[in-house]
Amino acid sequence: MVTGLFICIVGEIMDDIKKQIDELKKKILYHNDLYYNQDNPEIEDAQYDELMRQLKKLEAENPELITKDSPTQKVGGMAKREAGVLVKHDVPMLSLQDVFSAEEVETFVDNMQKELDNPEFVVEEKIDGLSLALRYVDGELKLAVTRGDGVVQGEDVTANAMQIKDIKKKIKEKLPYFEVRGEVYMTREAFSLVNEKQELLGKRLFANPRNCAAGTLRQLDSKIIKERNLSMFIFNLQKVEGIELKSHTQAYEFMHKQGMKIIHSYKVCKTKKEVLQAIEEIGNRRGDLDYDIDGAVVKINDFAQREKLGATSKVPKWAIAYKYPPEEKETKLLNIELSVGRTGRITPTAVFEPVWLCGTKVERATLHNQDFIDDLDIRIGDTIKVYKSGEIIPKVRCVIKEKRPQDSKPFIIGDTCPVCNAHTIHDDKADIRCSNPHCPAQIERWIINFVGRDAMDIKGFGMMYIKTLIENGYLKDPADIYYLHNYRDELIAKGLIGKEKNTDKLLNAIEKSKQNAPWRLLTGLGILNIGKSASRSLINHFHSFDDIAKATEEEIKQVADIGEISAKLVYEFFHDEENIALLNKLKEANVNMAEEKTEKTSDKFQGLTFVLTGTLETMGRSEASEIIQSLGGKASGSVSKKTSYVIAGANAGSKLTKAESLGVKIITEQEFLAMVKEN
């Protein structure tokens, strides 16, 4: 009896461990896809490394639960077919074993000294970029290939590599075969220039140089590579024929003579003390470099000793990568600026002396609200520590109070709006809002939101035009946009939008937007808590603004994605006299405020939520969405734990990965159609 109980308990423990491992694997694979294949990471390296540490620990304690599909058994991402022809690796492009402490470095050195006779270690910078192998045949570059899966195949990006100035098209020695591996990266200056151009063109800014370099190298237009000024360091000899090279440093000397750009900052060490000192030296100067590094590599110098040690399926046994803690910088707080958003919320922003973090120049960071300021006790003139959350969003870590000026004073947001001087309101949270609905800052933000791509998507209606038209009295609310055509000649004469051609172009875009789906208009109205998803749900349920206006709070609350608070806010908006006047102005301008009702043919999909991703073979996504709604289901744009099915077509992206990580059922288009036919 006791034995049976013991077996049962052990079985439950093992089931729990397996669940933990499976959950960690899903999370890591999801973030791998974002990092390697989409160049759009959601979490910072330290958070990712912690997930990997947890998984490795559980697998080490339970080796019977290790599977071939585990991230610990794989290298990098998957090669993307759209970026280039897939080619086989001649030499695997493995990743490195990450370590995070001096003790782990010492253990590695100890192990190497036990297994090898008087090993030499080379310590060098770990460049934060995209790995690339270069194959030379008879002295000429024949192939450039990305890591891809690291073991079997990668992408042929030779045409693009030819545009990178640091890559030699020919080397002096005409060796039968010579393959090297390096890291493609961007200097901070080159990255800044690219983002400046992106901003001027109204395009999405890159998060950091690594993402920009990776995305650029995969471009189908090789001219873009030259324009963006990519760089490359060589950091390893993969394979050579026609000459004998015995060590890493000897290979570096040979490469340098060929005119190749090698990692110039490296040090040969014999002891643990020397290795740790070299790591520390690299860490101390990383802020002064004009490119990003994310660690220091410690590798065995002698090639014969490397051969003796070999590799696992994922990493070589002769090298490790020491990862530095997330980068933080000290700087001086120059000012705290207050801005007013479209809902009247007042946001404090720290303005400080510029510092470089994760490859970008940073001089501003949000301070969220008065509570955040009070908790940090942050004051103008303070020395502060700043960092980047997820290596993307600048944030203030803390105040160095020992360096605080003696005459500093606590910062208080105050009881008046910084734009219109109206009284402020403290809401239930920590937020402070302007009480004046006609505050110029609110109107500006409101209209910027209204014309934006997630709302009415009026092409060419930029922020400067909005500011100018507000200042000159032409825009007092979003509805005024649809009456600008009455002032065409006046606008041209004053040059507020530009000359005749530019003015007509914008007026035509405004006219065209009148036919937009009504959910876009609802999103643009800026009702608190009501974004794209909630707007779609409201329109899918009620079909028109008139029907929403007639609905009770209780009826609105029945709509998917609409909770009690959101229902109250929608009800109040549609029953406010000023808002009713605004809606009437929009109606008189013939802006579309209703959609055709899709006849529901059955309740087959009642209570089910579908998400579509990728390209479907027999229909468009809108057609599939109509079918889902006609059968009583909901078509959503994002994956969550509440999603019933994800319908995956060709080239499915991050939604598919997220569905896998959450355990959401994934079906093909054919399986979806079979479900429909069952009805």
Sign of torsion over alpha carbons 28, 30, 32, 34 = negative
**Is there a binding annotation on residue 183?**
yes
Nearest to 90 by CA among 304, 313, 244, 239: 239
Q: State the virtual CA torsion across 506, 507, 508, 510 in degrees, nearest 10.
A: 90
* CB atoms inside a 10 Å sphere around CB 581: 12
Asked whether the beta carbons of 37 and 80 are under 8 A apart, the reply is yes
Cα 226 to Cα 165: distance, rounded to the nearest angstrom: 8
**Is there a binding annotation on residue 417?**
yes
**Is there a binding annotation on residue 48?**
yes
Cα 341 to Cα 347: distance, rounded to the nearest angstrom: 8
Cα 388 to Cα 45: distance, rounded to the nearest angstrom: 11
> Active site residue: 25, 27, 74, 126, which one?
126
The three-state DSSP-derived secondary structure of 315-332 is: CECCEEEECCCCCEEEEE
- DSSP count for the chain of H helices, then E strands: 24, 22
Nearest to 257 by CA among 239, 234, 230: 234
Per-residue buried b or exposed e for 102-131, using 16+ beta carbons within 10 Å of the residue's own CB: eeebeebbeebeeebeebbbbbbbbbbbbb
Copy the structure tokens of residue 284: 């101390």
**Is there a binding annotation on residue 46?**
yes
Cα 34 to Cα 21: distance, rounded to the nearest angstrom: 20
Nearest to 473 by CA among 460, 453, 458, 491: 491
**Is there a binding annotation on residue 273?**
no
**Is there a binding annotation on residue 439?**
yes
The residue behind tokens 């760089």 is: 231
**Is there a binding annotation on residue 358?**
no
**Is there a binding annotation on residue 403?**
no
Bridge partner residues of 134 (DSSP):
144, 180
Q: Measure CA 345 to chain center.
A: 26
**Is there a binding annotation on residue 49?**
yes
**Is there a binding annotation on residue 558?**
no
Cα 89 to Cα 73: distance, rounded to the nearest angstrom: 18
> Is 126 considered catalytic here?
yes
Cα 239 to Cα 90: distance, rounded to the nearest angstrom: 9
**Is there a binding annotation on residue 420?**
yes
**Is there a binding annotation on residue 95?**
yes
Nearest to 481 by CA among 519, 520, 507: 507
Cα 357 to Cα 330: distance, rounded to the nearest angstrom: 11
**Cβ within 8 Å of residue 237, ≥6 positions away:** 179, 180, 181, 245, 248, 251, 255, 303
> Which of helix, strand or coil describes residue 378?
coil
665-667: strand order across its sheet: 634-636, 609-613, 645-648, 665-667
Cα 477 to Cα 483: distance, rounded to the nearest angstrom: 11
The DSSP code for 526 is T
Q: Phi and psi at residue 621, in whole multiples of 5°?
A: -65, -35
Asked whether the beta carbons of 164 and 182 are under 8 A apart, the reply is no
Asked whether the beta carbons of 180 and 160 are under 8 A apart, the reply is no
**Is there a binding annotation on residue 299?**
yes
Long-range contacts: 661-666, Cβ < 8 Å, 24+? 661/26, 661/27, 661/29, 661/30, 662/26, 663/26, 664/639
- Give the DSSP letter string of 270-305: -SHHHHHHHHHHHHHHGGGSSS-EEEEEEEESBHHH
**Is there a binding annotation on residue 212?**
no
Residues in binding site for NAD(+)? 45-49, 95-96, 124, 147, 183, 299, 323
Residues in binding site? 45-49, 95-96, 124, 147, 183, 299, 323, 417, 420, 434, 439
Residues in binding site for Zn(2+)? 417, 420, 434, 439
Hey, which residues are catalytic here?
126
